Structure 1
């Protein structure tokens, strides 16, 4: 909770798009860029934002250059990842953490971008926003959905999320209340970060979401996190969307999550609209957060 956070955005501030992971085409993000311009923000793009090298958006050096250039540029007030995919984990340890601490900026993204956000928090830098990729039908799908992200970035980060009954993980909700900084995001990246880019999670509210993996992969990741002690001291777990999971025989992804998480004996709140599924929302990470499983609410303070 001693991390530094960016100031709220103001009209005229500059937003920069970078591609730390997989490639995209400029046309894929023009709708997002145009929405930001309508907010009165200036938009530009990293030098290598539209490079392509197999499944990566350019070489490690090119992708890292763009992220660090944005972290070091005093005119850039928020960094938007063009997409997730794969590759951010290859550069997460080489971010310019000193520049980020000296001049913190919002880092907007999720999925593979989670590992960059975790690495920044490990080095005392807040401002991660989980969510908001154009093309994935998030805050840009309808005008009514734009306001929450705009409010987060422009100084009103208070957010209240409640479970969505149609989400299978809603059945994992237990009882109890906990407070702490909201950390985490994509389970695959949390597990990948363990031992080098993962900050201590004791006292935090841990967000977990995942997409398109075999149930056995999730089993391995949660087993490693538990047996490695990385979940020791976690105050509560906010469970988002676990999307595109097929049962393994009679075992569902919800069964597996219950098997791993309920023995922790901490409040669980499932079914939250955070992740890769329809209707996913944006949320500011790292701020004081209350998980109230009794009232079925996740509340981020303003």
Structure 2
């Protein structure tokens, strides 16, 4: 029998009574079908939460943008709390998270800011509420752990895009419209390779179709051995990162390879290498090409997804196609018309 990540984790789960995380309560198995939430419409209530770092004065600009979509924006009770470097205690951040997914009037949940802290609370997410009433979730970076949990535990499609702690110099009108279209229309999302992006140098020719999964590379590596790391068999892996040197990309991808996480992938889509220092004579693109170029799957870099300027929004969990000749990643819509 070929020992893949799926078979190894399945055996471990069976031996451990269905859970791989010590001390975590067993959860009902995730639905097999992909769950796309209803698209947001003007007049819908949405809530801002802060499972990681607290927001700063930029939060007001993000709320203004969401309000310009016609959304009614609420802020979680503990968003502006402080507990060391976190937005309040674990209990309070978790309470805001679960309240946002349990309130039937809240149709979208938006992360205020990343940084660190989401994985401290993610194992206690109330997945029964998520399964009962799916809704839009938008975040990126540290929120990769929550997005992985929502996928693994509820098969919920989420949106990898800007957080509410908005920076106009990084995300302008094009990026605002990208977010709006992703969560408020049923149009496919098409990302085009940008030759100016450092990751554009990473390329393995070909085409591939699979479910788009992934997020921040640091958080994907951190998820190894937890319930947050998506099963990537047959998937298109999307990753990006910030403030990581070339050798760090090598190290993280090497660990994912050694863990078997990349054994069955269909292709790789690469977002932004933001503020990536060289290691010796190699830059981040050289290191990544060295680590993924021999996997035998198409690889397309240069996508404006991540921490850099011009950040676009993309659904995670829907079908996607890489076409390296066209330089495109085409992703099926992440939302449904209400009532369908």
Q: Tell me whether the two structures share a fold, i.e. TM-score over 0.5.
A: yes
Which residue number corresponds to residue 22 of structure 2? none
Shift of 1:35: 1.9
Name which of structure 1's ranges 62-71 and 165-174 shifts more when overlaid on structure 2.
165-174
2-side partners of 1:138 and 1:210: how far apart? 20
C-alpha offsets along residues 227-265 of structure 1, whole Å, 9 cap, x if unaligned? 110111111000110111111111211111011101111
1:200 equivalenced with 2:231 (yes/no): yes
2:284 corresponds to which residue?
253
Unpaired segments ≥5 residues, structure 2: 1-31, 334-340
**1:31: which partner in 2?**
61
1:262 corresponds to which of 293, 297, 321: 293
Whole-angstrom CA distance in 2 between matches of 1:30 and 1:295: 39
Residue 122 of structure 1 is matched in structure 2 by: 152
- Aligned residue in 2 for 1:275: 306
Residue 86 of structure 1 aligns with which residue? 116
**Aligned-partner SS, 2:64:** helix
2:43 match: secondary structure: coil
Kept in 1: contact 2:241–2:306 (CA 8 A): yes
Q: 1:299 to 1:189 in 2, by over 3 A?
A: same
CA RMSD of aligned residues (A): 1.7
What's 1:190 paired with? 220
Give the counterpart of 1:230 among 261, 283, 286. Answer: 261
Q: Which structure has the bigger radius of gyration?
A: 2
**SS of 2:199's equivalent?**
helix
Q: 1:135: Cα distance to partner?
A: 4.8
CA-to-aligned-CA distance 1:146-182 (integer Å, 9 cap, x gap): 2221111112241111111111211112211111111
Query: 2:5 maps to which residue?
Result: none
Rounded to whole Å, the distance in 1 between the matches of 2:163 and 2:36 is 22
Equivalenced residues, count:
301
> Cα distance, 1:183 vs. partner?
0.7
1:54 aligns with one of 66, 73, 84: 84
C-alpha contact (below 8 Å) 1:139/1:149 kept by paired residues? no
User: Which residue does the alignment assign to 2:329?
Assistant: 298
Tell me which residue corresponds to 2:44: 13
Change (3 A) 1:188 1:157: farther
Q: Secondary structure at the match of 1:209?
A: strand
Could you list the per-position Cα deviations for residues 172-205 of structure 1 after superposition, in whole angstroms to 9, with x for gaps in the alignment?
1221111111111100111111121112111111
Distance of 1:88 and 1:237 partners within structure 2: 25
Q: Which residue of 2 aligns with 1:172?
A: 202
Matched, 1:2 2:33: yes
Pair 1:137–1:24, CA change in 2 (3 A): closer
TM-score, scaled to structure 1: 0.95
d(CA) in 1 for partners of 2:168 and 2:254? 31
TM-score (norm 2): 0.85
Of 146-155 and 105-114, more deviation after overlay is shown by: 146-155
Distance, in Å, in 2 between the alignment partners of 1:186 and 1:198 is: 11
How far did 1:208 drift? Answer: 0.9
2:93 alignment counterpart:
63
**Does the 8 Å contact 1:139/1:146 carry over to 2?**
no
